[in-house]
Amino acid sequence: MDDQPASSIENSGASADVHLVLHVNGGDREIECDQRTTLLDALRDHLDLTGSKKGCDRGQCGACTVLVDDRRVLSCLTFAVAAQGQQITTIEGISEMGSGTALQEAFVNHDGFQCGYCTPGQICSAVGMLDEVKRGWPSAATADIDEPVDVVLSDTEIRERLSGNICRCGAYVNILAAVRSVAADTGQDMA
Ligand code: FES
Ligand code: FES
């Protein structure tokens, strides 16, 4: 498409390298990589943005969560080539996003981590989750899904909506408290 950044593919035997332009944290970054490179590997290995973590590399832990066009995605399951032309926000750029800084501070104030390995993914996921709530997107825990959905954010809702992010240290109680406090501070209906 005309408005897509240019990319080129050169076949060289078994592998094919691509030149990509990724819009990351407000700026264009160019990389050369194998066309099968995941967004997570592109961020960590090509752009030195190591805040996004590789936990399982198969979509099961949420440690690699980033925002693409403000929606949370698992970067280990996303090809970098498919993220061209979209706004990618990692934990390094999250303070630019509305509730990003507040969540980072709340995680510190509520002790929402121990080793910290899952924390970047938890915070990116929480930013995306609070935005989904604001848009009235229901979750599996939402009782009334008649349009327009007015989400009342209970602890069950928060747990369900962040259930894709695993914390091996078991800091869930404090993560819940951190997210709750930020949601309440922004005027969200709470239960
Ligand atoms: S590293 Fe992506 S979900 Fe675990
Ligand atoms: S704080 Fe260690 S995995 Fe969550």
**Is 24 in the same domain as 90?**
yes
Does residue 106 form part of some domain? yes
DSSP symbols for 61-99: S-TTEEEETTEEEEGGGSBGGGGTTSEEE-GGGGGGSTT
Does residue 52 form part of some domain? yes
Does residue 11 form part of some domain? no
Q: Which residue has the tokens 């080129």?
A: 8
pTM: 0.90
Does residue 167 form part of some domain? yes
37-49 tens-digit pLDDT: 999 999 999 999 9
**Is 68 in the same domain as 139?**
no
Q: Single out the residue in 76, 94, 112 at which a domain terminates.
A: 94
The answer to whether 142 touches 151, Cβ cutoff 8 Å, is: yes
**Is 83 in the same domain as 121?**
no
Which two three-digit tokens encode residue 96? 């630019």
Domain count, the chain: 2
**Which residues span the domain enclosing 21?**
17-94
- Which of 61, 108, 124, 167 has the most ligand 2 atoms within 8 A of CB, as the residue to mutate? 167
- Which of 39, 41, 57, 168 has the most ligand 1 atoms within 8 A of CB, as the residue to mutate? 57
Q: Is the CB of 118 under 6 A from ligand 1?
A: no
Q: Which helix (H) or strand (E) holds 122?
A: helix 119-134
Task: Provide the 10 A C-beta neighbour count for residue 62.
Answer: 23
In the predicted model, residues of the chain with pLDDT beneath 70 are: 1-15, 97-98
154-167 tens-digit pLDDT: 999 999 999 999 99
**How far, in Å, CA of 4 to CA of 109, rounded?**
42
